[in-house]
């Protein structure tokens, strides 16, 4: 798994490449959690190059969403392919997330 972190206007975008599973969750948390500062208003997880997600990956996304909403901030998933969309649908959590198709939709 590789992670690219970038800013676009008021959005912090975290692009994940590869697999988001139990083996990489701790390392990803170490990269993302320190960035969730009080002045952050929007966290976007770009899933364009995500090839696999398991229940622990979905759990991390849910935890990040809850942390952001607890700070009255936005949490968005971006560029889900069909496989990732299905994983969220099967877990009955798809409607929990704001999902956009491209960075241009961020506003």
Instruction: Assign residue 25 the CATH number of its domain.
Output: 3.30.750.24
What confidence category does residue 95 fall into, taking pLDDT thresholds of 50, 70 and 90? confident
What DSSP state is assigned to residue 33? G
Per-residue confidence (pLDDT) for residue 98, from 0 to 100: 93
pLDDT level of residue 42 (50, 70, 90 thresholds) = very high
Which tokens belong to 47?
């899933």
pLDDT grade for 35, boundaries at 50, 70 and 90: very high
- The boundaries of the domain holding residue 68 are 2-106
Q: How far is CA 90 from CA 52, 60, 79, 81, 98, in A?
A: 14, 16, 18, 14, 17
- pLDDT band at 11, cuts 50/70/90? very high
* Distance, CA of 59 to chain centre: 11
Nearest to 20 by CA among 4, 2, 38: 2
**With 90 as the cut, is the pLDDT of residue 100 above it?**
yes
Euclidean distance between CA atoms 28 and 16, whole angstroms: 9
CB-CB contact of 19 with 47 (8 Å): no
Are the beta carbons of 16 and 45 closer than 8 angstroms? yes
Which residue reads 């500062």 in tokens?
37
Domains held by the chain: number: 1
Compute the average pLDDT of residues 29-34.
94
């Amino acid at each position: 798994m590789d992670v690219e972190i970038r800013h676009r206007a008021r959005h912090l975008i975290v692009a994940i490449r590869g697999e988001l599973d139990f083996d990489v969750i701790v390392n990803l948390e170490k990269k993302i959690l320190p960035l969730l500062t009080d002045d952050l208003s929007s966290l976007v997880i770009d899933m364009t190059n995500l090839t696999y997600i398991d229940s622990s990956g979905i759990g991390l996304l849910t935890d990040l969403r809850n942390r952001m909403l607890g700070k009255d901030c936005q949490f968005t998933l971006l560029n889900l392919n069909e496989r990732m969309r299905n994983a969220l649908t099967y877990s009955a959590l798809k409607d929990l997330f704001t999902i956009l198709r491209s960075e241009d939709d961020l506003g």
